[in-house]
Structure 1
Amino acid sequence: MEGRVFVIGLGLIGGSLALCIKEEHKEVIVCGYDINEEQAKLAKMMGVIDESVRSLEAGARDADLIIISTPVTVTEQILEQLAELPLKDNVIVTDTGSTKTTITDKARSLIEKGTCFIGGHPMAGSHKSGVTAAKKILFENAFYLFTPRQETNPKEIETLKAWLVGTKAKFLIVSPEEHDYLTGVISHFPHLIAASLVHQAAAAEDHSALVSRLAAGGFRDITRIASSSPAMWRDILLHNRTVILELLLGWENEMQKVITLLESSDASEIYRYFDEAKNYRDGLPSKEKGAIPAFYDLFVDVPDYPGSISEITGHLAKDEINITNIRILETREDVYGVLVISFQSEEDRARAEVCIQVNTNFETSMG
């Protein structure tokens, strides 16, 4: 394909999409805009984009594809601004937001002008942010949801897929309403529950100062998503408020079932409750990316002697295996500690496990 692509918002998602498009369509010119001019300069210096522009109008007027990769509240404002600008007749405008119904409604003025808008949501992410974290493989094997309006020309959807084929993502088409329900169930609501668990643990410190120390292990892992951007999740929950409220009522009913089981001391029903949950969870796809970024952690039993950690990281560095995070669990009191190493992908974690097993005597596990 030939033409110009304009990426608005040069963070992790916008930067990664730019890299995918540049890799697949080498003749295309990718220009970018970010409200943070330093971020835009960095994107240009790193080769994430070909050109940096200082205004929406400068980038949008000649674009064949416009990608809005900003927080959802900012996306609404940008859609209003684009509706007032002279755009090419065949331009396609898309976004990357986590909610779609309100965004699609906000795009109505753009659509009435004759411009094609197709909502988009690449369901992939990272524990890092900013253009420096952008990478071409971010969306590989991830679901990429499109939420076109019913009257959208199917050819325009196929054109958008062709622009984004370099993501190597799995494209799915759903309505904006179905999208918001699906992401509410498997992304938005779990983030809310994680934040609630953290609040409960913080309140429990009034009864025991040991709470935070013991929470350094598994509790910290299962609530990791609570560390996401508060501003982002404020906006997402407000935009998907109706779905979240519906799910909260369902959660209230679910917890009432548990309360009833405990009050009745029904051992067999309690067992069945956990068994059914285990069976459903174990049946979920393990090799596919979902709405919440996967955590590729490797647990290593390391003896308590100087240099044991540097020994491991040294071997990983020699094999050019990138580490995204490293920490020590403090829940054990014997001569061994647990080193938790996080990686960018399942492939990196598998390579790391082999590397450690071949070069050391340390025991490893996936968790």
Structure 2
Amino acid sequence: MKGRVFVIGLGLIGGSLALCIKKEHPEAEIIGFDINREQARLAKMLGVIDEIAENIPDGAQESDLIIISAPVNDTKSIIQALSKLTLKPDVLITDTGSTKQKIVEMATKLKERGITFIGGHPMAGSHKSGVSAAKEILFENAFYLLTPEDHITSEKIELLKAWLIGTKAKFLTISPQEHDYLTGVISHFPHIIAASIVRQTERLSGNENIIPRLAAGGFRDITRIASSSPQMWKDILMHNRENLIKLLNQWQEEMNFVKELLEEGNEKGILEYFSQAKQFRDGLPTKEKGAIPAFYDLFVDIPDYPGVVSEITGYLAMEKISITNIRILETREDIHGVLVISFQTDEDRQRAEKCILTYTNYTTSIGY
């Protein structure tokens, strides 16, 4: 497809979308803008975009597709700015925000001018951020939610999918209201719970200094998402507050139920509670990407001697396997430590496990 694509926001998501469009539609011209001029310069240098726009009006006015890849509050302001510009009559505008209803409501200003806006949410991410972390494969097999209003024609929806076909994502079309409820359940609410667990642990650690030391390893893993951007999650919660208030009320009922089981000493009820949770959790898809970025970790039992970490990473480098993070859970004299290596995809993790087993006799696992 030929045309001019304008990407507003050149972080991980915006940069990755630009790469996907460039690969699938090499004849398209990709223009980029970021409030951080260094990010824009880096995007041009890395070949993520073809040209840098000095400002939003310069980039938007002759564009056929405009992608807003910015925090949800900034997206509302950008839509407001776009609604005042002279744009091509057939321009297609979309966003990548984690909430949809309020953003689509703001886009009414575009609808009044006959401009098509289709809300979008690619449900993929990474441990890393910024345009330097952008990858063509970021959205592969991930769900990409589209939230068009009722007046949007199927032709427009298919046109947007055609532009984004290089993502190799699985497109689902739902209403903005349904989007915010679903993402509230499986993304926004878990972030609140993770943050609350960390906050409670912090408070309790005031009286027990050993708690932070014991909270390494598994505790850090189950609360990883609490390390996400506080500013971003403040905005998301405010945009989806009605759904989250309902979910928190249901969570309080759930915790009261567990409390009652404990007060009654109901061993059968407690066993059933954990059995049902295990059954549902074990039945969840293992090969699909969901709303929260997956952590493709490989655990390697390693002996405690100098150079063992560089030995492992050296083997991975020989096989051209990229890692996103590496850390040691525990190393003490005369026992094995646990090296945790994180990868971008499950395929990379499988290749890494095969590589390590080929070159060493170390034990590996995908869970610990």
TM-score normalised according to structure 2 size: 0.98
Q: Which amino acid aligns with 2:181?
A: Y
Q: Does the aligned pair in 2 maintain the 1:124–1:289 contact within 8 Å?
A: yes
Q: Is it true that 1:360 corresponds to 2:360 in the alignment?
A: yes
Shift of 1:96: 0.2
The amino acid that maps onto 1:287 is: K
What does 1:8-27 align with in structure 2 at a 5 Å threshold? 8-27=8-27
Note if contact 1:217-1:331 (Cα within 8 Å) is conserved in structure 2: no
Whether the aligned pair in 2 keeps the contact of 1:12 and 1:131 (CA below 8 Å) is yes
Equivalent residue number for residue 85 of structure 1: 85
**Partner of residue 329, structure 1:** 329
Q: How does 1:70-81 map to 2 (within 5 A)?
A: 70-81=70-81
1:1-367 to structure 2, matched below 5 A, reads: 1-330=1-330, 335-367=335-367
What is the CA deviation profile of residues 146-197 of structure 1, one whole-angstrom value per residue up to 9, with x for unaligned ones?
Answer: 0000111111001001000000000000000000000000000001111111
C-alpha separation in 1, matches of 2:118 and 2:90 = 13
Unaligned runs of 5+ in 2: none
Deviations 1:114-143 (A, max 9, x none): 000000000000111110000000000000
Between the aligned partners of 1:219 and 1:242, the Cα distance in structure 2 is 30
CA contact (8 A) 1:298 1:364 kept: yes
C-alpha contact 1:216 1:330 (8 A) present in aligned 2 = no
Q: Structure 1 regions of 5+ residues with no counterpart?
A: none
Measured in 2, the distance between the counterparts of 1:55 and 1:176 equals: 29
1:5-52 Cα offsets, whole Å, 9 max, x none, are: 000000000000000000000110010111111111111111000111
State the shift of 1:207 in Å.
2.5
Structure 2 SS opposite 1:32: strand
3-state SS of 1:136 partner: coil
Judge conservation of contact 2:304–2:335 (CA < 8 Å) in 1.
yes
Deviation sequence 1:205-224 (CA, Å, 0-9, x none): 12311111111110000000
TM-score where L is the length of structure 1: 0.98
Mapped partners of 2:331, 2:218: distance in 1: 9
Which amino acid is the alignment partner of residue 342 of structure 1? S
> Aligned partners of 1:118 and 1:111: how far apart in 2?
10
Cα displacement (A) at 1:331 = 8.4
**SS class of match (2:7):** strand
Q: How many residues align?
A: 367
How high is the sequence identity, in percent, across the aligned residues?
A: 65
Secondary structure of 1:216's counterpart equals coil
Deviation at 1:253, TM superposition (A): 0.3
- The amino acid that maps onto 1:80 is Q
